[in-house]
Structure 1
Amino acid sequence: MTDTDAEAPLDLPVDGTELATYIAAKLCHDFISPSGAIVSGLDLLDDPSAQDMRDDALALIAQSARKMVALVHFARVAFGAATTSERFTARELQALVVGVTEGGRATLDWRVAEGEFTKPQARALINLAYLTVGALPMGGNAVIETRVENGALHLSGQADGARARLKPEALTGLNGLRLSEGLAGQWIQPYWLWLTVTEGGGRLTTTVEDGRVVLAAVMPV
């Protein structure tokens, strides 16, 4: 590859306004559930006939508000650059992933050594971790690991479980392809991960086996 080839812009199947539209729709979908639950809790508090459910309503509001805050913090790093931080520690990124995945059936096994990650690296790592956990809808173990080797950062997410899988739309996104059929909401985050890794000068590979899904990315240090 020549220097000219390396500096040439990527020929992306989805970019610009279209990409922003998909991401906005994804965020709205994620936010609507906890925000709706908060409103439901407030409605219960205002209902004179439901005062015996006041404690339940307060618990629902508190739980949903924490979930909403976790989603916002995660989205700021996973989908954008709306943060003053130029680098993130492994512990900060772990907290972001835990905040949006706790309460699910899968177990998160975070094996990321203490260190710092640039914005593109951090974006790739937490999206990869989220999708790894998401590959275990019926439960299992999601192992997230990183290592630096030969001047490159290796990110790995391995999902082991009886029903470990990726939907067709997710595989399309992880391969950097335009969605031709299926649900855009299942496609956009995998595509965003591929785009983040690719624009960062790296490569992303996906392996799907019986009871196992592996997402692996290699990015420049």
Structure 2
Amino acid sequence: MVTVTLDSLDLAALLCSRVCHDVISPVGAIVNGLEVLEDESDASMKEFALDLIRKSARQASARLQFARLAFGAAGSAGASIDLGDAENVAKGFFGDDKTQLTWSAPRMLLPKNRVKLLLNLVVIAAQAIPRGGMITLTVEGDPKASRFVLSAKGINARIPPHAEALLAGSPESGAVDAHGIQAYYAGMVARAAGMKTAFAIEGDTVTITAEMDPTNPNSAPIDTGMIG
């Protein structure tokens, strides 16, 4: 397959579309709730609208915080990110109770591209169980040599369509659209982090692994530190 390279403007535009897609639903619900408050005199309807606004505001905030770490700069070049912060935003991302996330990782700093990859793989793991279920995430190794394992278990689990090709930077169509940009971006981040990804499926469980790629010069050890 031919590797597809996006110019910076197309990449920025597609990522912006992705973030907007994630937040437009809760923001729209907030607007609807405010309209109900303005037009309704019934106390029960007003309380319903307030509950909708509260829930949607929390959801919008959680999705924006997740996007900031998963897609944003999250600090200057070469910065590290606390895995504890990544855990908080990842769990906030699943606020609808349809998907449960079990996070098993030591509290430490990792180079930001590895953490961004981990969060993007969480999204792909969720896509593997469209009807919901359980995602179990494990971080193995130390800050210099990390390995991620994500198991997504649920009804009709499947490797997300085109995910493997998009992660490899070689979409079957030869182009990347707003639907595929997240997996394509995850592949870019994986290569920048010196890591390689793989998928496996057995029964109702999809497993995604990411580990250091010895053939990638970006996999050279990076000094970072543990958090007490």
Q: TM over 0.5, yes or no?
A: yes
Structure with a larger share of its residues in helix: 1
Instruction: Give 1:100's aligned amino acid.
Output: F
TM-fit CA distance, 1:31: 1.3
CA distance in 1, matches of 2:4, 2:201: 25
Q: Does residue 64 in structure 1 map to residue 60 in structure 2?
A: no
Q: Which residue of 2 aligns with 1:89?
A: 82
Q: Does residue 171 in structure 1 map to residue 174 in structure 2?
A: no
Is the Cα contact below 8 Å between 2:81 and 2:112 reproduced in 1? yes
CA deviations on 1:42-67 (whole Å, 9 max, x unpaired) are: 00000045554111111111111111
| Equivalent residue for 2:71, pick from 69, 74, 79 | 79
Instruction: Give 2:30's aligned amino acid.
Output: I
1:121-136 matches, cutoff 5 A: 121-136=114-129
Is the Cα contact below 8 Å between 2:40 and 2:46 reproduced in 1? no
Q: Which residue of 2 aligns with 1:23?
A: 15
SS in structure 1 at match of 2:155? coil
Q: Which residue of 2 aligns with 1:103?
A: 96
Identical aligned residues as a percent: 30
Q: Which residue of 2 aligns with 1:118?
A: 111
Aligned residues: 211
CA distance in 1, matches of 2:132, 2:143: 35
Is the Cα contact below 8 Å between 1:179 and 1:187 reproduced in 2? no
- From the superposition, tell whether residues 172 and 218 of structure 1 become closer, same or farther in structure 2 (CA, over 3 Å): same
Q: Does residue 211 in structure 1 map to residue 204 in structure 2?
A: yes
TM-score by length of 1: 0.84
Instruction: Give 1:210's aligned amino acid.
Output: G
Is the Cα contact below 8 Å between 2:154 and 2:205 reproduced in 1? yes
CA deviations on 1:68-91 (whole Å, 9 max, x unpaired) are: 111111111100104469322222
**CA RMSD, aligned part only?**
2.5
CA deviations on 1:85-133 (whole Å, 9 max, x unpaired) are: 9322222111100111132422211111221112111101111122213
